[in-house]
A and B are shown apart, each in its own frame.
Chain A
Amino acid sequence: MSFLRFAFSELLHSKRFAILFLVNLSFGLTSFSALEFLKNSIQTTIMSQSRQVLGADFGISSRHALNEQEQFIVQKNLPQQALATDVIETFSMVTHGQSSALVQIKAVQLTFPFYGQILTEPLKKTSYLEDTESVWIYPELLTLLNARIGDFLKIGTRQFRIAAVVKDDTASNISTNMAPRIYMSLNSLKKTNLVRSGSLAWYSTLYKIPNFSEEQLDSLKNQIYQQLSDNEVQVFTHRSASEQMNRLLNYLSDFLGLISLSSLFIACIGLTFLLSTYLHDKSVSIAILNVLGYSKKKAILFYALQLFAVTLFGAIISVFLAIVSLPFLLQASQTVAAFTILLNVNFTTLFQILLAGTLGGFCIILPHLIHLIYSPPRQLLSNMPRTHKNIYWQLLLAYIPGALLFYLLSIREMHSVQNGSIFFACFVGSGLLLYGFSYFILSLAQKIKWAPSLAFAWALRDLTRLRISTTTGFLSLALGVFLVNIIPQIRANLQGEIQKPITSKLPSLFLFDIQEEQLNDIQKILKNEHIHLQHLSPLIRARLLEVNGTPFEKGTGAFSSYSTREQENESRFRNRGFNLSYRPELDASETISQGSAPPRHFDDKTATLPEISLEERFANRLHLKIGDILTFDIQDIPIKGKVTSLRHVKWTSFQPNFFVLFQDGSLDDAPKTFLATIAKLELNQKLNLQKKIVQALPNISIIDVDRLIEKLVFLIDQMGWALQAMSLFCILVGFTVLLAIANDQIRRREWDIGLLKALGSSYKTITACFVYQFTIIGFFAALAGGLLSILGSYIFSTFLFDGAWFFNWQVPALSVLGLTLLCPLLTFIGTRKGLAFKAKELLSQR
């Protein structure tokens, strides 16, 4: 017990160190902890609510109704107690008077949903939809269509009465953000004549399977899935369906994870600095313990355990702070979630956080312990500065666990080896770039001969002489500023890309489900309005049967928490049908990145196989390359083609674009529907045209691109808000690191300060010297971080997003101003005690 008492009293005598260490560690860990809790809350919610979200235990879904053989396979595998209900979902335009809107139609049977509820006002049962030709609508449709309960809506070729408004729908999901939902019965949908060959529709059968465990449901899913030959048929349990629906949420949490990791890393820089000083001070104590009979290793272990205890305590504090900040994170995440996320804090997550915290603490402490272990006793007793001679390799090895932990956490947070590695490399690269910048600035500072005051001259000199502390403070702040700035920069670019001005080439309306026989009719309608149909593109549904004669493998369809995003994407792409198209020449939004564009027209007399051009990322996901022979199934007719090029597609053009393009003339006879766009229109013109098209050709669906962009911008804003909040936390960590460094610097230089006082330097000059130092660090850190964020956003926009780059100067300017003003204040707070050091104590030192 005396051992513990001694350890505790030692810490009490180093209160400032202990507090700064705790603050740095807990702040750094808080965002990481909050995110772990958020992920756990999401997982728990998925597990508890997924049945209600799906409305069933199990489901089968496809773009076509299952054929007899497929139905047989399903029935054969299902247990006897399974209850079934059919659902068809599609998109369509609906009109009421002069107004029209795109809606998501969900046609159900009276048994839907098996779980959860659709609460309506006035209160109705699903059977009501069966018995009457009526619909339930989402509340926003009342406004969009200027309608009331009891009014009639024209859907397809029929009129339906609005029987009720949906107040609560546990089966809502992210797709209802794109278009509000209407519920009707399956019979009603048939009467609308909306669902035709090639129409965009999803045929699902949902099952209630009582007394089946999760493992049994997963096993059933895999069983049926393997037996079905058609890739397009999706088989899912309630849990896998919910996980799939929340892809956007997953991406958000991936990025939040990166920022939290960055905060942690920045905090680690501060902790390293604090530890270095603390253990350096304790080296004499270690030597004394050694003299009293403790082995050096035991003495060092004593301090290691002490620090371990502080780290654990810091991790515990971070947990509490994380719980406090969790509601804000939840709110931000809710906008992209398919269901209400329930806050959940459990012991497993708690344990994981504490483990990460203490493991991370160990990695930080290790290099310093190596220093102590290998320092000769004479050096420890004299408290001399330690040298790196002869322990270079040991030190390098000591840093590896920390670097490895950071790398592994990056992969874990990104759920992707590729992206995690890129992040790690970028983080290290940014650090090196910033280090280079600081080296350059310090080299320039060394050359400055003139200074406006003595304090400024001393400040410049100290900055250039004490490079390690200068660079550490600079790096911590600059990285924090970089993260805080890059999020709004990227957001500004995304928004700028999406919200292009009216003179841009973005369409006003996007039409789909145009039947071949309707082309003339729609051309006529548009001609009367003096409007042209643009980018008219055929869409042919197909399945990929073979690649180079080998059957195309289905994805496993089974995701676990260990799946990477690449694996999830690949599996998803393997388990779907494809939309093929053909065109005589490339669209303006496409460029050939590999190979050569197919000749204009396919001539079956001269060529054996039509040429295919694939979108490059699509090809990459499915491991397809130039030269591959692909066999597609188009309504049971196999069609072969040869991949001769890969394309780069600018998806933000909102023009019809396809992953797979066949050579023009090769698929003329295939059954198809058409997509097209209409260029920028004034609002009234747009509404008028929409109404005319819907009245004449009710099966054609129309997306209002302007409204879609508004919704996307809103989503981006919401996601950006969450990312921004995390980034601000990052800069807060940067400030605590600066505070730690400032305080540490003063402590290390107490004697210097006392000496200056003894030599006759005024308190004002000494204070000014330190304030100047840290203000200069803050200013250049903010400048460097801001510039790096601009560069980062440029790279992101140009190379990753393939868009125009929009320069946002406000946030970087604010960062530079804010940090430059805040640094003097922080320095003053951090240095007060040190500056009060009595010069006379210099005389008592022996």
Chain B
Amino acid sequence: MNIVVDHLAKTYLQIEEKIEALKDVSFQINSGESLSIIGQSGSGKTTLLSLLAGLESPDEGAIMMGEVDIAKMPEKEMTLFRARHIGIVFQQYHLMPHLTALENVLLPLEINRINNSKEIALALLNKVGLSKRAHHLPRQMSGGENQRVAIARAMVHSPSIVLADEPSGSLDYKNGEIVMELLFNLTRASHTTLLLVTHDTELAQCCQKTLHLHNGRMQQ
């Protein structure tokens, strides 16, 4: 799915102060490509990601995903769209602590009411090398393993787009490498569009395109 972002802007009001989190951001990414979003703290990366995920609406601009402008979508429709087309990988994994690895991966399939969900989930867990940990709880697994489960969960329902928010940020170097390699391999194999937020310039160079943000604006 192609993504076209056109003159996106988002402003927050805090007491009596306006904070322009994003200003006039435009870019395009084609289906199956990978884009890294790089910038310092407070540059607007998180805001951009949340707008792309449809978790909030922009004040100005458009976000075309395929033929649909999600910026103007009502919340209910956006939720359905997100369920079907978007997968998110968080820095802190955010797995349900009382669900097993398999059950965490099953969640998107349950939400989308997909049949044969268990087989699909197991297959993906196998791809990420965790089929033997399918019935383990998050607290019984390491950080790297948890993040691999999170990646499996983000991809299990075959989304068109995966948004990854510093997926290796909480991991050591070695595990971080494993996780990133897995993410890239899976998204390439399934022609899934990948948007990756990162501090790491080396990692950013692994993506086909890079977007630099500084104080909410694009840097050339």
Which residues of chain B (115-166) have a CB below 8 Å from chain A?
Answer: 139, 153, 165
Q: Which of B46-54, B182-190, B209-217 contacts A (4 or more CB under 8 A)?
A: B46-54
B107 touches A759 (CB 8 A): yes
Chain B residues closer than 8 Å to A755, beta-carbon distance: 94, 96
B107 touches A756 (CB 8 A): yes
Chain A residues closer than 8 Å to B80, beta-carbon distance: 760, 762
Chain B residues closer than 8 Å to A752, beta-carbon distance: 96-97
Report A817 CB to chain B, min CB distance, Å.
Answer: 31
A466 interface residue, CB < 8 Å from B? yes
Chain A residues closer than 8 Å to B99, beta-carbon distance: 461, 465
A843 touches B111 (CB 8 A): no
**Per-residue contact bits, chain B 67-103, to A (CB 8 Å; 1 contact, 0 not):** 0000000001001111110101011101011110001
A839 touches B55 (CB 8 A): yes
Chain B residues closer than 8 Å to A846, beta-carbon distance: 91-92, 169
B110 touches A454 (CB 8 A): yes
Report B54 CB to chain A, min CB distance, Å.
Answer: 9
A751 touches B94 (CB 8 A): yes
State the CA gap A237–B201 with chains docked (Å): 96
B58 interface residue, CB < 8 Å from A? no
A844 touches B46 (CB 8 A): yes
Chain A residues closer than 8 Å to B50, beta-carbon distance: 840, 843
- Nearest B residue to A385 via CB reads B139
Most chain B CB within 10 A, of A756, A765, A842, is at A842
State the CA gap A757–B78 with chains docked (Å): 11
Chain B residues closer than 8 Å to A385, beta-carbon distance: 139
A758 interface residue, CB < 8 Å from B? yes
State the CA gap A755–B95 with chains docked (Å): 8
Chain A residues closer than 8 Å to B96, beta-carbon distance: 752, 755
Q: How many residues of A contact B (CB 8 A)?
A: 27
B165 touches A843 (CB 8 A): yes
Known: A385-B139, A755-B94. A843 touches B108 (CB 8 A): no
A761 touches B92 (CB 8 A): no
A845 interface residue, CB < 8 Å from B? yes
Return the contact of B49 from the options A762, A838, A843 (Cβ within 8 A). A843
Chain A residues closer than 8 Å to B107, beta-carbon distance: 756, 759
A760 touches B90 (CB 8 A): no
B55 touches A760 (CB 8 A): no
Chain A residues closer than 8 Å to B165, beta-carbon distance: 843
By secondary structure, the A interface counts as: helix
State the CA gap A148–B139 with chains docked (Å): 88
A845 touches B92 (CB 8 A): yes
A462 interface residue, CB < 8 Å from B? yes
A843 touches B82 (CB 8 A): no
**Per-residue contact bits, chain A 718-760, to B (CB 8 Å; 1 contact, 0 not):** 0000000000000000000000000000000001100111111
State the CA gap A845–B88 with chains docked (Å): 14
State the CA gap A758–B56 with chains docked (Å): 11
A840 touches B55 (CB 8 A): yes
A758 touches B113 (CB 8 A): no
A462 touches B110 (CB 8 A): no
- Nearest B residue to A748 via CB reads B97
Chain B residues closer than 8 Å to A759, beta-carbon distance: 82-83, 88, 107-108, 111, 153
State the CA gap A330–B94 with chains docked (Å): 56
State the CA gap A73–B84 with chains docked (Å): 101
Chain B residues closer than 8 Å to A844, beta-carbon distance: 46
Return the contact of A462 from the options B82, B88, B98 (Cβ within 8 A). B98
| Extra pairs beyond A759-B82, A760-B84, A843-B90 (12, CB < 8 Å) | A457-B110, A461-B103, A465-B98, A755-B94, A756-B107, A759-B107, A760-B81, A760-B108, A762-B79, A839-B55, A843-B165, A845-B91
Residues of B near any A CB (own CB < 8 A) = 46, 49-50, 53, 55-56, 76, 79-84, 86, 88, 90-92, 94, 96-99, 103, 107-108, 110-113, 139, 153, 165, 169
Q: What are 17 of the A-B contact pairs (CB < 8 Å)?
A: A465-B98, A756-B107, A756-B111, A758-B55, A758-B94, A759-B111, A760-B111, A761-B79, A761-B111, A762-B79, A838-B55, A840-B50, A840-B53, A840-B55, A840-B56, A842-B94, A846-B91
- The 6 A-B pairs at the shortest CB distance, nearest first, are namely A760-B83, A840-B55, A840-B50, A465-B98, A760-B82, A843-B46
